[in-house]
Amino acid sequence: MTGLNRMMAGIGLGVAMTAGALAPLTAYAQDTIKVGVLHSLSGTMAISETTLKDTMLFLIDEQNKKGGVLGKQLEAVVVDPASDWPLFAEKARELIAVNGVAAVFGCWTSSSRKSVLPVFKELNSILFYPVQYEGEESEKNVIYTGAAPNQQAIPAVDYLMSEEGGSVKRWVLEATDYVYPRTTNKILEQYLKDKGVAPEDIKINYTPFGFADWQTEVAAIKEFGSAGKKTAVVSTINGDANVPFYKELGNQGISAEDIPVVAFSVGEEELAGMDTSALVGHLAAWNYFQSVENEANAEFIKNWHAYIGNDKRTTNDPMEAAYLGFQLWVQAVEKAGTTDTDAVLKAIVGLEVPNLTGGTAKVLPNHHLTKPVLIGEIQADGQFETVWQTEGDVPGDAWSDVLPEDKGIEADWTDPLTGCGRLNTATNTCEVAATAM
C-alpha cells in the first residue's frame, strides 16, 4: 500500500444523515448515535464490499427518516480497511475507541473477520457480519447474518448430486487461499466422502487473492472433467479474481452443460461487471436473489434505486444480510432502551424480522439466523433464475456436524455474560475452540 493510500485509508469518513449536518461537531456528536461501517473501498475486495458501504448509508438514511433510534438520529462513520486484513483490526479499534460507535457493520472475508475479533472482545462492541462464511465459530460479540455452510454449501452440493441438479459424480473445489474456502472445503470434502464419493473424484485447488492467470487452472478443470463422469465446480473464489476465472471458462469453451460451476461468492454485483453471455446456466447458491418476486423485495429495490439514483444498480445477498442485521440491531436497541453492548446482545436473541424472500430471519442462541436456501441459474441479463429452494427457513449451524470433532457441539449466547460459543452437549462443558488461521 502506498503512503497516500494508507493515509486515505486512515481517514474516518463520517457521514451525517440529519438536517443538522452543519451543526458544530461537539453538539452534533451528542445528538446522534454513531454506527461504524467497516468495508473495503479499495483493493481486491472493493468489487464486492463497496456496495455494502452504500447499503449501510441507505439503511441509515431510511431509519433516520423514521425518526432514528431512541429518539436520536444515526450517524454513519465510514472507514476503508483497503482489503488489508491487519488494517481491518486497526480500523475497528478506531471506530470503537476513537469514534465511539454503538455497533459496527462490516467485513467480508473471514480473514478480515478473524483479524477484528480480538478488538471486539477487548472493547466489548458488536460486529454484524453480513456474508456467508465457513462456520466453526460463534462469538459473543458477533451476529452472523450471512449463511453458515448448512445454509449454502451443503445444500448446493445436495442439489448438484440430485437428478434435478445433474447427478454430479466428480467434484472440483476451486478456491481462493484463505480461511473461508479452506474450512468450507474441509467440511465439503468430508461430506462428499460420507456420501460415497471416492477421493480420486475430488480435486481441490487454491489460488491467491486477485489471481488473474487462469489458463492452466481452467485447463486442469477441463481435463479432470473428461473422465466420463459428470463433473461440477464448487467455487469459493472471492473478489475480483472471479472476473478472469469466468472469462477463461468461456475462452476454453466450458459451458454449464459440460461442467457447471456453483459459486458462493458471485452475486448480482459481481456479474454486473462481467460479460455474462458465456456464463448462462452456471449457478450460485445464496439466501436471496434480486429476482425474487414479492412485495417486500420490490419495495426494497425501489427504495434502493431511489436512494442511489441509479436504476441499474443491483441488489444482492450480502445486501439483504446487511439489511437483516441492521433491522435486528434497531429492534434490539429499542427493546433494550440503550445501545449498551451487553444489553443489546441480551435483547437480540430470539428477535425476528421478515426477510426479503418471504420468510423470517430469527436470531438463534448461537448468534446465527434462520435463512432460506436458493439455487439460481445465471441469466444473460446478469440476474438469477431460482431453480431450487428449501421449503422453509433453515437454522444456521455454527458447528458443522459433518466434522467428527464437532458432533454434539452447540453455542448459546441467550445470556451474553454466562453464554458459551462452543458447548459440548455430551459433557455439558464449555470448550475453548482453536482459532482458524
- pLDDT higher at 273 or 91: 91
H helices of 195-338, in order, are 215-224, 242-251, 268-271, 295-308, 317-336
pLDDT at residue number 30 = 61
Instruction: Yes or no: say if 248 and 216 are a contact pair by the CB < 8 Å rule.
Output: no
**Cα 190 → chain centroid:** 23
pLDDT digits (tens, 9 = 90+) for 12-55: 333 433 333 333 333 334 689 999 999 999 999 998 999 999 99
Q: What is the pLDDT of residues 366-412, one digit of tens each?
A: 999 999 999 999 999 999 999 999 999 999 999 999 999 999 999 99
Domains 3-149+293-370 and 150-292+374-395 share a fold: yes
pTM: 0.88
Alpha helices per DSSP H over 66-178: 85-93, 110-123, 153-161
Lookup: cell for 412: 448459546
In our burial notation (b when 16+ CB lie closer than 10 A, e otherwise), range 257-285 reads eebbbbbbbbbbbbbeebebebbebbbbb
User: Tens digits of per-residue pLDDT, 222-262?
Assistant: 999 999 999 999 999 998 899 899 999 999 999 999 999 99
244 grid coordinates: 478472469
Residue 76, exposed/middle/buried by CB under 10 A (0-12, 13-18, 19+)?
A: buried
pLDDT at 239: 86
Q: Look up the CATH architecture of domain 3-149+293-370.
A: 3-Layer(aba) Sandwich (3.40)
CATH number of 150-292+374-395: 3.40.50.2300
Gap between the Cα atoms of 189 and 171, Å rounded = 9
Domain layout of the chain by residue ranges: 3-149+293-370, 150-292+374-395
